[in-house]
């Protein structure tokens, strides 16, 4: 077995005084399983037992027998892993008493971390919303990328509005299904924190609450109101049924379930709402812990009514203004104190910590958000969380995706890229590199899972001195092993200047001033470092200290492996106890100091500035010690290799720590998705992605003699260090990987052959709206009531039309004195609304606000005296607000003719409304109320000839050259080579975010509304569309619904572009793009 390292001495209970007077603790709970990497190494246990026996022979036998009897009679459900002699030894040390939720002990916790199946676990997670990537076959792609970065969990919101589209209707089919999420997570080996709301925020319409509920529920949402309870309980019931078999207690990936989202515990009606949901979960069989995310330090739901099992804090210290992306806010310094004050008996949990930022309409775009929350931000702010002793954390977002259709709330546009580590296209970034550098360290370092906060530069740290007050240090220390973790940053965390310092620290070998061989430790501007003392790696590996960072620590084969890294413009130093017979690096930039008496056999290694690439510091039969610059380190991967042992937790065969500790180090590829041992362990089979020809470096278990990449044998493979000694160790290879020739020649067609049809017959003379819904309600449950009119309520959702474009037609019998109409129209921020009288265009209103009042003056000759006249309003619904205004008043809040009254108002949105919409696959949020949408023009297979489509270029705009709506349709074929991951986007107007042309456009790809373009607001011009929505080996239909806002001509352009081509990918991607079928349009 290739393990991450030796077991950690972790146990629990009451003090016990050994014969030599040292106070230790005996176990009072389950057998300790907080060992390095998770799976047990019996050889290490046996050595510890032998040491104990020799040191304390007088009492060891009775103690061992007593504890053996205790363990023998301990309930079998406490832990699924086998007990070993380690448990007896480790009983001598203390863990705080563990807690659980009273429904299962598979998940427990103390004040440090959670325990899963008895194993202490640092929860390292990222946010991903499957509804923002509605292609189930791609969910595994995201999960594999999370795991490859060292994450062990994913946080997932479920959208009530998509899953519960109408009262009494639950839809867990297609991309709304939960089981494919759970299955993909198990295959990837990643835990899930499920966050199903009902309210989720997430910059989504109504914060995820079903639109119908915002209209039909009279009581206050998110309280114990009877009708709100009746509205959400079936949805939560559906979540329970879909999730119960997939909890970690049953071998599934669901570790915890969050209650609602970011709320307050008062008034009591809100607390009772939480309590009601919690009771429903428990009665329904959800036994894993229930959690909560507090939006700031509000102390909600820790105690009292509605309190959860594990409390957490959400934090976004950089805010959401990406317009000045190099401006930083300082790090938050009171997190540790807050945790110590409010919930010190629970682990310190951050369910959401800033992983990017959303961008509003008219914003600078997500490239700027990438800068605002870039790798330097991750380096400083994430490690500040470490310094606060946070042991459960999730970054929001790690993959943002696309807010397609009607998912956005008014504050955001279609892209939900979020400036994340993984871009909307699914491309990896330099942020991903930093996330991986941190993630693999955390995965490799069980000693870091249990640390006490000792002090910092403000409060003082016993025995620690800093030479420069411009540097700031926090010390965390493992109470069992003595490993010290000094989180260093600049005192002014926003500073872009460099500082240097020395630090004096206590170690197991006495007090040392670091560095020992060079002048100082350097922190570049906006940089953080982790200086480590008395750290163990592998079975026997001993690191006295390091000013370089740890990338990986563990075992590969029989060797203890340590992989250090650091910036190439800085000098680094480490004191390591080299073991075995081997060779040191021969490099002008690496120096080795002769072991001193103080170092007691440890060699001080100095890596000078200018060191680049991979350097083998020590290579022996017992150890491998590597160093690389930060960029080179980021090209390495440590994929878990499935290798079941008697300690493997059933159902967790693919999970690091619970299923396997076997791994290899693989350098060079763009991504390593997974690795397996084949042919009796002689072949390391790698799967992943290439974006260029690269040098392959592999450190594998010693039995490996060959490597395959995506099923093909790597032919040009060379055994590195080809000496007799090195050949005996085996598993070290170099080679070359190159993308296939076909990948380099991927092309896509130009979008030509457009066909056009007028898309606004509602403003033409004689249009029949008799089948439309009559808008005659005089009451509403929506929060903001009508402002003026005759008492009729003109809110779209009250008539079943809650998303997308909605059309209103107000009829009046003209006397001839009608000159204008005063309208107040509400569509959410940055909406637009165009108004006609009969077939005469009046004006379009849009000013960035969510509501506009305007007097629309009728053009001369437009009113027909003595006849029925119609005021037509085409409005854009930008989605419902979040928080307290989920019941948003989208529609006409006020209407008044200057003379006379409207006789009847008619309203039409998407066909069928939320009760009977025809497209069940794409779902309730896909379509709006434009005539072409109601007819199905946007769907593949629609017969264009049946609706008088004619040839017209998209760039020619509308034939009238004025205000109106038109539908442009074309098809194209793709033939993308198999075995590639080709990232594609549709790009308007050459990528210019804000052109000034007054148009809005809806982009439909194979029937899916995957873009809303607002050319005079911006910033989005490029719209990524994934495989599965696009048919990469077939015919595709693209439709642009063009809305020209005024009487100036517009000339939009659209092209399909290749963002990247990767040789590899996650595998075949199924499409699910239902074609047009007859519908009863109105």
Give backbone dihedrals phi and psi of 1007, rounded to 5 degrees, phi first.
90, -15
Task: Estimate the crossing angle of helix 139-148 against helix 179-188, to 10 degrees.
Answer: 30
Range 882-885 contact pairs with CB under 8 angstroms and sequence separation of 24 or more: 882/201, 882/203, 882/204, 882/206, 882/207, 882/409, 883/201, 883/207, 884/783, 885/783, 885/784
Residues 6+ apart with CB under 8 A from 754: 951, 952, 953, 954, 968, 969, 970
Residue ranges with strand state E in 446-597: 452-456, 465-466, 471-477, 484-490, 499-501, 503-507, 510-514, 521-523, 529-537, 541-546, 549-556, 559-566, 572-576, 582-584, 590-593
Q: Which residues, including other chains, have CB under 8 Å from residue 723's CB and lie 6 or more apart?
A: none
Rounded distance, CA 501 to CA 517, Å?
14
Residues 238, 240, 241, 243: what is their CA dihedral angle, to the nearest 10 degrees? 120
**Cβ(53)–Cβ(621) under 8 Å?**
no
**CA-based Rg of the chain, rounded to a whole angstrom?**
32
User: What per-residue string of b and e applies to 142-180 under the rule 16 or more CB within 10 Å gives b?
Assistant: bbbbbbbbbbbbbbbbbbbbbbbbbeebbbbeebbbbeb
Residues 6 or more apart in contact with residue 234 via CB below 8 angstroms? 164, 168, 170
Q: What is the DSSP string of 270-317?
A: HHHHHHHHHHHHHHHT--SPEEEEESSS--TTSSSTT--SEEEEEE-T
Question: Dihedrals φ, ψ of 47, to 5°?
Answer: -65, -40
Largest CA distance in the chain: 113
Structure-token match 């509000």, residue found: 298
Q: Compute CA 404 distance to the chain's CA centroid, rounded to the nearest angstrom.
A: 17
Catalytic, 588? Answer: no
How far apart are the C-alpha atoms of 814 and 865, rounded to whole Å? 5
User: In this structure, how many other beta carbons lie within 10 angstroms of the beta carbon of residue 930?
Assistant: 26
Chain position carrying tokens 């609450």:
209
Residue 185: is it exposed, middle or buried by C-beta count within 10 angstroms (0-12/13-18/19+)? buried
Length of the chain in terms of residues written: 1082
Question: Measuring CA to CA, which residue among 497, 512, 569, 498 is closest to residue 546?
Answer: 512
- Residue showing tokens 């000045």: 324
Q: What is the C-alpha separation between 150 and 436, in angstroms, rounded? A: 6
Q: How far is CA 786 from CA 216, 463, 628, 777, 873, in A?
A: 17, 69, 66, 11, 17
> Cα–Cα distance between 127 and 149 in angstroms, integer?
13
Residue 894's CB is within 10 A of a number of other CB atoms, namely 16
- The catalytic position among 108, 262, 818, 935 is 262
| Cα atoms in the Cβ-side hemisphere of radius 13 Å centred on 68 | 8
**Is residue 250 classed as helix, strand or coil in its secondary structure?**
helix
Q: Which of 127, 352, 573, 927 is catalytic?
A: 352
CB 1010 within 8 A of CB 402: yes
Q: Which secondary-structure segment (H or E) carries 1059?
A: strand 1054-1063
Q: Is 262 a catalytic residue?
A: yes
Strands of the sheet containing 471-477, edge to edge, are 452-456, 471-477, 484-490, 529-537, 541-546, 572-576, 603-607, 590-593
Q: Tell me the catalytic residues.
A: 262, 352
């Amino acid at each position: 077995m290739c393990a991450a390292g030796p077991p950690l001495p972790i146990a629990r209970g009451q003090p016990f005084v050994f014969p030599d007077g040292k106070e230790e603790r005996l176990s009072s709970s389950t057998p300790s399983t907080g060992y390095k990497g998770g799976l047990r190494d019996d050889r290490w246990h046996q050595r510890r037992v032998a040491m104990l026996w020799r040191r304390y022979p007088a009492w060891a036998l009775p103690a061992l027998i007593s504890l053996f009897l205790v363990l023998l009679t301990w309930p079998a459900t406490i832990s699924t892993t086998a007990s070993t002699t380690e448990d007896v030894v480790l009983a001598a040390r203390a863990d705080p008493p563990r807690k659980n939720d009273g429904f299962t002990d598979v998940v427990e916790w103390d004040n440090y971390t959670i325990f899963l199946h008895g194993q202490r676990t640092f929860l390292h997670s990222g946010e991903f919303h499957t509804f923002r990537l509605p292609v189930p076959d791609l969910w595994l792609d995201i999960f594999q990328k999370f795991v490859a970065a060292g994450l062990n969990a994913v946080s997932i919101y479920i959208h009530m509005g998509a899953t519960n589209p109408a009262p009494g209707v639950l839809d867990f089919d297609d991309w709304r299904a939960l089981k494919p999420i759970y299955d993909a997570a198990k295959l990837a080996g990643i835990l899930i924190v499920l966050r199903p709301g009902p309210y989720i925020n997430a910059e989504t319409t109504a914060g995820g609450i079903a639109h119908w509920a915002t209209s039909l529920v009279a009581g206050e949402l998110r309280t114990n109101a009877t009708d709100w309870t009746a509205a959400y309980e079936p949805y939560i019931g559906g979540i329970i049924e879909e999730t119960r078999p997939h909890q970690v207690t049953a071998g599934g990936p669901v570790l915890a379930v969050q209650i609602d989202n970011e709320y307050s515990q008062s008034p009591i009606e809100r607390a009772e709402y939480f309590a009601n949901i919690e009771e429903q979960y428990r009665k329904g069989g959800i036994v894993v812990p229930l959690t909560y995310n507090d939006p700031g330090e509000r102390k909600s739901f820790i105690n009292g009514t509605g309190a959860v099992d594990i409390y957490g804090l959400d934090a976004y210290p950089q805010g959401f203004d990406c317009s000045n992306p190099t401006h930083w806010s300082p790090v938050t310094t009171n997190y540790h104190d807050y945790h110590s004050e409010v919930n010190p008996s629970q682990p310190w949990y951050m369910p959401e910590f800033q992983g990017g930022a959303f961008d509003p309409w008219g914003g600078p775009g997500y490239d700027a958000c990438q800068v605002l929350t870039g790798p330097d931000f991750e380096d400083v702010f994430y490690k500040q969380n470490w310094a606060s002793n946070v042991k459960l954390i999730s970054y929001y977002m790690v993959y943002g995706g696309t807010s397609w259709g009607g998912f956005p709330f008014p504050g955001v546009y279609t892209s939900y890229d979020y400036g994340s580590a993984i871009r909307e296209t699914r491309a990896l970034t330099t942020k991903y590199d930093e996330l991986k550098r941190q993630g693999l360290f955390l995965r490799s370092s069980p000693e870091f899972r249990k640390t006490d906060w000792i002090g910092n530069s403000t409060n003082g740290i016993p025995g620690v001195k800093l030479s420069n007050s411009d540097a700031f240090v926090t010390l965390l220390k493992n109470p069992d092993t003595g490993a010290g973790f000094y989180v260093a940053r600049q005192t002014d965390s926003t500073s872009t200047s460099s500082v240097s310092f020395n630090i004096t620290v206590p170690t197991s070998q006495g007090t040392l001033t670091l560095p020992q061989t060079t002048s100082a430790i350097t922190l570049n501007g906006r940089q953080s470092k982790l200086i480590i003392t008395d750290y163990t790696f592998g079975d026997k590996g001993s690191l006295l200290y390091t000013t370089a960072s740890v990338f990986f620590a563990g075992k590969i084969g029989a060797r203890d492996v340590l992989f250090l890294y650091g910036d190439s413009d800085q000098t680094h130093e480490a004191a390591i106890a080299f073991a075995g017979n081997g060779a040191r690096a021969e490099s002008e930039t690496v120096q080795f100091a002769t072991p001193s008496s103080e170092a007691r056999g440890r060699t001080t290694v100095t890596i000078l500035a200018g060191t680049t690439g991979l350097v083998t510091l020590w290579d022996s039969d017992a150890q491998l010690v590597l160093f690389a610059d930060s960029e080179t380190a980021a090209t390495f991967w440590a994929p878990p290799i499935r290798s079941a042992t008697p300690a493997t937790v059933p159902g967790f065969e693919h999970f690091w720590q619970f299923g396997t500790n076997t791994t290899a180090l693989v350098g060079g590829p763009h991504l390593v998705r997974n690795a397996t041992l084949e042919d009796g362990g002689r072949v390391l089979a790698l799967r992943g992605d290439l974006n260029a020809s690269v040098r392959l470096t592999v450190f594998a278990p010693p039995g490996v003699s060959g490597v395959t990449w995506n099923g093909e044998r790597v032919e040009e493979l060379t055994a590195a260090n080809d000496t007799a000694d090195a050949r005996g160790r085996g598993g070290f290879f170099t080679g070359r990987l190159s993308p296939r020739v076909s990948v380099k020649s991927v092309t896509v067609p130009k979008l030509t052959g457009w066909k056009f049809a007028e898309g606004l017959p509602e403003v033409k003379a004689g249009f029949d709206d008799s089948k439309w819904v009559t808008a005659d309600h005089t009451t509403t449950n929506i929060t903001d009531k009508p402002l003026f009119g005759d008492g009729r309520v003109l809110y779209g959702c009250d008539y079943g039309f809650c998303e997308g474009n909605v059309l209103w037609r107000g009829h009046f019998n003209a006397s001839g004195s009608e000159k204008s109409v005063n309208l107040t129209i509400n569509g959410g921020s940055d909406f637009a609304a165009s108004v006609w009288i009969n077939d005469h265009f009046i004006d379009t209103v849009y000013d960035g606000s969510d509501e506009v009042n305007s007097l629309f003056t009728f053009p001369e000759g437009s009113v027909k005296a003595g006849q029925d006249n119609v005021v037509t309003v085409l409005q854009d619904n930008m989605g419902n607000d979040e928080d307290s205004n989920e019941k948003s008043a989208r529609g006409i809040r006020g209407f008044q003719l200057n003379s006379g009254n409207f006789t009847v108002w008619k309203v039409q949105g998407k066909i069928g409304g939320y009760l009977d919409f025809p497209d069940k696959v794409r779902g309730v949020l896909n379509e709006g109320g434009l005539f072409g949408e109601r007819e199905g023009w946007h769907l593949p297979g629609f017969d264009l000839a049946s609706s008088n489509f004619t040839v017209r270029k998209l760039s020619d705009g509308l034939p009238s050259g004025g205000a109106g709506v038109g539908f442009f349709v074309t098809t194209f074929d793709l033939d993308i080579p198999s075995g590639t991951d080709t990232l594609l986007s549709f790009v308007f107007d050459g990528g210019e975010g804000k052109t000034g042309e007054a148009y809005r456009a809806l982009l439909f790809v194979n029937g899916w509304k995957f873009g809303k373009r607002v050319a005079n607001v911006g910033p989005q011009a490029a719209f990524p569309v994934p495989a599965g929505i696009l048919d990469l080996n077939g015919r595709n239909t693209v439709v642009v619904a063009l809305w020209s806002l005024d009487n100036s001509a517009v000339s939009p352009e659209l092209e399909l572009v290749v963002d990247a081509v990767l040789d590899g990918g996650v595998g075949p991607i199924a499409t699910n793009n239902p074609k047009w079928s007859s519908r009863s349009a109105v």
